[in-house]
Structure 1
């Protein structure tokens, strides 16, 4: 998974502007940008009651988990098009969205999430999400979020479809094994889920730190058929001259916040590698990740 962080130098300054905006009342352009769910008046004429939770997430990965859990009003802080999150400057509309959120989802390796919330003066519930595409962990996180959001039924329906699709992809990948034998794989620690999807035999892992010469020799001695590289943290060819085919695995969903294409795309990459038809990854492949 990517180690992302957002520059927060402008957050405190922006928070002052946000408080002024909030004091003016009425709808604003940032209201529309935040995608906030509409409120419905209480039957007794009291405080408005929200139909659905307003969820703000740091990246599309948390956003996909939230959507799978049944959230419909999801605002992503870091755009999927930003390749290097530290280069992103939060906008006033980002802070406005956080200020109106019911939940703010973040990952443990994203310490800026709490600072974003504090700068915006939000009373939202901060929810730590275990970002891992391992199917067991995904199902656990989606069920947890569904319970928090009050959308447990939607989360359960998503799980049914996800389990079906995952089983289908796993069956197709096993059928693509050369000679019917599971390929041996060396994988980056955050792409181990893809090896599991393929039913491959993992003979070693690397990362997130740089691969040392000693570790390189150790992994090469395993004679893996495939190397699964994390597209978001790639350092180039991991096992040069080993003969292993290096595949690029993407963890983050797209702007549609749909998690299933992540598995389909990984399966397509794995099929290509198993059949020997895909190119070996070259140095600098991280530059073209979504």
Structure 2
């Protein structure tokens, strides 16, 4: 496994180094400035219209919520595990003209992309978590960084309204009017909070061990909230718990709100069957 990882890493580094010279030439050819001597993207950033390149739709949705209008997503939605993606020349060209490059800690190639592209963009690590409070804090932070605080505040107000409606709807579906006991994958705990569920245990991101299986099954959860992007199959077989696949990544429209609506619908469906 380690050798395969080294081979993949070596191949990716070779690709990035090979493209560096070509992108440097591209940057030279496209490096015109305005009358004040500022690059076009830099001027946009100062006007609160930053050019933002993001690794996935998840970071893209955070950027859009924060007020960014010019957002380029590198990793296609068809790629289930972002760290396995190998950047293309067009990806690096996009980075070369960006004001900001947004990435997550588990996407280690982001810094190499920026270096290979010769970009002066600011590399911004985003804490990807759909917990409502964490989302709002991150959107506010990005809005301040982009100079789009007003847009970020407006989005947050609409988010609070929508989140409240979804949470109320899901919690009205509690079996017997009682908060269900759930086991959550560590990156899906936000959905338990949305449902007002009682979390009796968590697992992951590693596969559940036999000891964990026995421990979690003994908690007698009604639901298992799995991570659709890292699923290893049925988590607690023979436990009687109904498994719900929670999707964290937004769609191509970079809209976070459907993530909550869809999770709410799946939770209601599962609780109805569990009841």
1:11 Cα offset (Å): 1.2
In the alignment, what sits opposite 2:197?
Answer: 200
1:260 Cα offset (Å): 0.4
Are 2:152 and 1:155 aligned?
yes
Counting only pairs closer than 5 Å after superposition, residues 64-75 of structure 1 correspond to structure 2 as 64-75=61-72
Matches of 2:60 and 2:246 in 1, distance apart? 19
Deviations 1:230-252 (A, max 9, x none): 00000000000000000100000
Q: TM-score, with normalisation over the residues of structure 1? A: 0.85
Unaligned runs of 5+ in 2: 1-7
Give the stretch that moved more between structures: 100-109 or 79-88: 79-88
1:82 Cα offset (Å): 1.8
Matches of 2:138 and 2:84 in 1, distance apart? 29
Greater fraction of residues in helix: 2
Aligned pair in 2 of structure 1 residues 21, 227: CA closer, same or farther (>3 Å)? same
Matches of 1:66 and 1:242 in 2, distance apart? 40
Matches of 1:138 and 1:25 in 2, distance apart? 36
Matches of 1:99 and 1:80 in 2, distance apart? 22
In the alignment, what sits opposite 1:17?
Answer: 22
1:154 Cα offset (Å): 0.2
1:16 Cα offset (Å): 1.2
What SS is found at the alignment partner of 1:217?
helix
Aligned pair in 2 of structure 1 residues 82, 225: CA closer, same or farther (>3 Å)? same
What SS is found at the alignment partner of 1:18?
helix
- Structure 1 runs of 4+ off > 6 angstroms? none
Aligned pair in 2 of structure 1 residues 97, 246: CA closer, same or farther (>3 Å)? same
1:89 Cα offset (Å): 2.9
In the alignment, what sits opposite 1:234?
Answer: 231
Matches of 2:172 and 2:74 in 1, distance apart? 40
Unaligned runs of 5+ in 1: 28-38, 279-290
1:24 Cα offset (Å): 3.0
Matches of 1:187 and 1:170 in 2, distance apart? 17
Matches of 1:87 and 1:46 in 2, distance apart? 39
Matches of 2:78 and 2:65 in 1, distance apart? 21
* Equivalent residue in structure 1 for 2:179, among 179, 182, 197: 182
Check conservation: 1:188, 1:230, Cα contact below 8 A.
yes
Matches of 2:14 and 2:83 in 1, distance apart? 11
In the alignment, what sits opposite 1:247?
Answer: 244
1:96 Cα offset (Å): 1.1
Check conservation: 2:175, 2:274, Cα contact below 8 A.
no
Aligned pair in 2 of structure 1 residues 166, 277: CA closer, same or farther (>3 Å)? same
Check conservation: 1:8, 1:116, Cα contact below 8 A.
no
* Equivalent residue in structure 2 for 1:59, among 56, 62, 65: 56
Q: TM-score, with normalisation over the residues of structure 2? A: 0.89
1:277 Cα offset (Å): 7.5
